[in-house]
Amino acid sequence: MKHRRRPVQPDRALGRVASHFTSEGRAKNSYRTEAEARGAAQLAWTLSGVDLNAYRCDYCFQWHVGKRFRDD
């Protein structure tokens, strides 16, 4: 089953875009280039074994890293 990204929807109560925040409520890091985001994902893997994916944000057009979805 493939996971699909939900469309970006503003968090109306807070006046901000929910996709720019982690599930803990912290702001996500933004990267200007794909290479920077991939580097951050690789560092996370090296330091803690967390498998992250770099992706281009449909809202701000910068790059973020997030948990990698697996096809099962």
Spatial contact of 57 and 64, defined as CB atoms under 8 Å apart:
yes
- Say how far apart CA 70 and CA 65 lie, in whole Å: 15
Residue type, 45: W
pLDDT in tens, 2-17: 555 554 444 544 556 6
Structure tokens that stand for 41 in this block: 């994902």
Structure tokens that stand for 6 in this block: 């939900």
3-class SS of residue 7? coil
pLDDT in tens, 16-62: 666 677 778 788 889 999 999 999 999 999 999 999 999 998 888 89
What pLDDT does residue 13 have? 46
More confident residue, 68 or 12: 68
15 conformational bin, left if phi > 0, alpha if psi -120 to 50, beta if neither = left
